[in-house]
Chains A and B, each alone.
Chain A
Amino acid sequence: MLKQIDPNKQRVRICLGTGCRARGSIDVLKAFNCEIEKRNLQIQIECIQTGCHGFCERGPVVVIAPKEFFYQKVKPQDVAEIVSKTILNGEAVSRLLYTDPVTGKKAVYEYEVPFYKKQTRPVLINNGRIDPTNILDYIVIGGYQALAKAITTISCEEIINIIEESGLRGRGGAGFPTGRKWRLCRKARGDVKFVIGNGDEGDPGAFSDRSLMEANPHSILEGMIIGAYAIGANQGYLYLRAEYPLALKQIQTAIDQAREYGFLGKNIFNSGFDFDIKIIRGGGAFICGESSALIASIEGKMGEPRAKYIHTVERGLQNKPTNLNNVKTWANVPLIINNGADWYAKIGTAKSKGTGIFSLVGKVNNTGLIEIPMGTSLKQIVYDIGGGIIGSKRFKAVQTGGPSGGCLPEELLDLPVDFEKLTEAGSMLGSGGIIVMDENTCMVDVARYFLDFLQNESCGKCVPCREGIKRMLEIVTNITLGKGKEEDLELLQELAETVKDFSLCGLGQTAPNTVLSTLRYFRDEYDAHVKDKKCPAGICKNLIEYLILDGKCTGCGVCLKLCPQKAIQGEPKKIHQIDSSKCTRCGICRDACPFEAIMIKSDVN
């Protein structure tokens, strides 16, 4: 059956991940198919769609195998040239290559691009190489071998030992040792057990779970089947976020194909082991990333968590022993079975093994999906892989762990990224967003942003979280409006600590992290808002003014025409002025001014 895939054939791999798709990669794929048909090249060339290659900033991304030519920002009109030059003659199309902004050097092949060169990608490596809709692609690269090996040659206990020895910890955020969880679930009393894959990636600014589900769904399924076999579960659930329609489609296709090939269903590999997976679509609630809330949601209820002393490994879904892991955790399992526990344990730091997958976003040049060994420093991530800050702005902070995490300042850029170090510094690893902030980011407003998010997402079950977050939001909002009092900061600190200590579930316990970390590292910004009624970053509208600079304004009238408030006055070719009492600080004039003559008041001096 594998004859259908010829390794020597030239393959055009087009990224159809959400980022590239939004930039028109479907049209590029169509153009390739047309061109190949027009020139009758179907025998020599195969054109496949892949999931996210990771380098979303440069999409649509196209890679030509076997040589791995790497093209970025490809448009349908580039396709004819790529076919003539690269596919037929082996030459690169220079203008589509990635140029390193530091050295000015062009990278011809994918492995030469600095963004990829500085990563270690055992989990993500196949994301850009296989067609997620074709199980044969996954099988050709060694897919389902780990499953065959595990079921036919290793005992259940031994599989759990291997996972435990590898040091794999949960990728969902808390970092609980995976092997230990499996063992607890295996030992728990009950004939019926469940495994769950958590793909309810609710963190704003994180898309690593989505990319993995879209690009390599079989790796997740394979991990889940191995886990279910080791634990003794016959039914699995994959809980998917409502906003991820493409991931839903790819996972559904993958499950259907796995059933067809006998990897799911009755008597897998003639071992007598039965297992199947059902997809559950979430409803778009951040709290459902929490295990007990997610389980309530699968049961068709509101996603409310329950107290932690009832362990889901003993009483989870339908009160039966349930093992829940993040989809990234599951995707690590086949790698460990194939390569051994020692191989995995060699990657990473003493307590955090393996690699971490992160979406690197915000004010950074190379937005994208990255995979790095645990222990890589924040500096390497932001500068070596991320290519530094956009424009000539200064770095201010990096936020990890989504709304549950914290903001870390420049002094901590050398901090190695692992479970312990980030928690010690007042943040957390979380589910995989690394958000870079520059000098134009107001840290008080960032705290307000996350509190606003969290108070919307708080399920309302326990008082500290429901009321505490709301009150914190009120205080921080007042500060951003210039109505803050000095004693507010003390109250804010006290409230934050109370919410952290007394909330029922992980959402509430981690909710104050952004407030606590910004109070700890960016106290001066709070002071500037409270004491001087100034927003140093120029974000908080009540504390800033827009000004037109005398030396730069040419009186062209663009801003005057666009201002929705009619707050700008001036004669043609004479310097214009903004009436601050009418101005709503919407920023349209500043965006539109061709001469960069409009500044925020704190910038003027």
Chain B
Amino acid sequence: MACDLSEYIKIDNILENNSWEESALISILHEIENLYNYLPAWALRYISEKLNIPMIQVYGVASFYDAFHLKPRGKHLIRVCKGTACYLRGAAQVSEALEKELGIKEGETTPDQNFSLQSVRCLGACALAPVVLIGERYFDKASPTKIRSMLKKVQ
């Protein structure tokens, strides 16, 4: 539970922006995700209550779509593109090397909350394949040997 009342007011504002509509659930979840970088459980429970949508439905939608995360994510979000073009040019090796370097698996966050590693289906930047996006920064033609310098550049 969030202890601070002001956090609930933020959620109320989001609900207000979406006219308290049940059909706007995905849009509401996007806004909460933008705010906290993940979907806190207390926020899901709160919107379930306020919009009168069963929690199972809110959880269903939140876990169905890749854009939503149920666990907090690190300061730097590393997204390894696993689209077909990147896969053909060695994205799997890049991802494995990142897992080794950071000591976490895909979908996890480092214990110091610094990095989260995630694979994405396609960033649509196929000319840069294999491409890794750290925060807002693109790294093109990534390879296992470039990993350390990439991580250094964003720290």
Residues of chain A whose beta carbon lies under 8 Å from any beta carbon of chain B: 18-19, 22-23, 56-57, 59, 201-207, 210-211, 242-244, 280-286, 297-303, 359, 361-363, 367-368, 399, 402, 433, 435, 437, 441, 449, 453, 459, 562, 564, 586-588, 591-592
Contact = CB atoms under 8 A, between A and B. Distances in A.
A367 B85 contact: yes
A204 B97 contact: no
Nearest to A209: B124
B97 A205 contact: no
Interface of B: 21-27, 29-30, 57, 60-61, 64-68, 82-85, 87-90, 93, 96-97, 100, 120-129, 131, 138, 140, 143-145
A211 B87 CA distance: 21
A453 B90 CA distance: 16
A361 B122 CA distance: 12
A297 B64 CA distance: 11
Contacts of B30: 242, 281, 283
17 contacts: A18-B123, A18-B124, A56-B125, A201-B124, A204-B122, A242-B30, A242-B65, A282-B67, A283-B61, A285-B66, A298-B23, A300-B23, A300-B27, A302-B64, A362-B85, A435-B88, A591-B144
A370 B97 CA distance: 34
Nearest to B60: A302
A399 B24 CA distance: 37
Given A281-B30, A300-B26, A449 B84 contact: yes
6 smallest CB-CB distances across A and B, nearest first, come from A283-B65, A205-B84, A207-B124, A204-B83, A56-B127, A22-B138
A110 to B, nearest CB: 18
Contacts of B90: 587
Contacts of A284: 65-67, 121
B61 A301 contact: yes
Point out which of B22, B30, B82, B87 has the most chain A C-beta atoms below 10 A from its C-beta: B87
B126 A361 contact: yes
Nearest to B24: A300
B145 to A, nearest CB: 5
Given A243-B120, A591-B145, A285 B88 contact: no
Nearest to B66: A284
Contact of B127 (A57, A206, A449): A57
A30 B22 CA distance: 44
A410 B128 CA distance: 26
A586 B84 contact: no
B21 to A, nearest CB: 8
Nearest to A21: B138
Nearest to A318: B23
A592 B97 CA distance: 14
Contacts of A591: 143-145
A529 B85 CA distance: 24
Contacts of B25: 300-301
Contacts of A367: 85, 126-127, 129
Given A204-B84, A298-B23, A564-B100, A283 B68 contact: yes
A242 B96 CA distance: 25
A19 B127 contact: yes
A85 to B, nearest CB: 27
A88 B87 CA distance: 45
Contacts of B83: 204-205
Given A202-B121, A285-B64, A361-B84, A588 B131 contact: no
Given A283-B61, A362-B88, A362-B89, 7 more contacts: A204-B85, A204-B121, A283-B64, A362-B126, A399-B84, A441-B88, A453-B121
Contacts of A399: 84
A22 B27 contact: no
Contacts of B65: 242, 282-285, 303
A254 B124 CA distance: 22
Contact of A433 (B21, B84, B100): B84
B68 to A, nearest CB: 7
Contacts of B23: 298-300
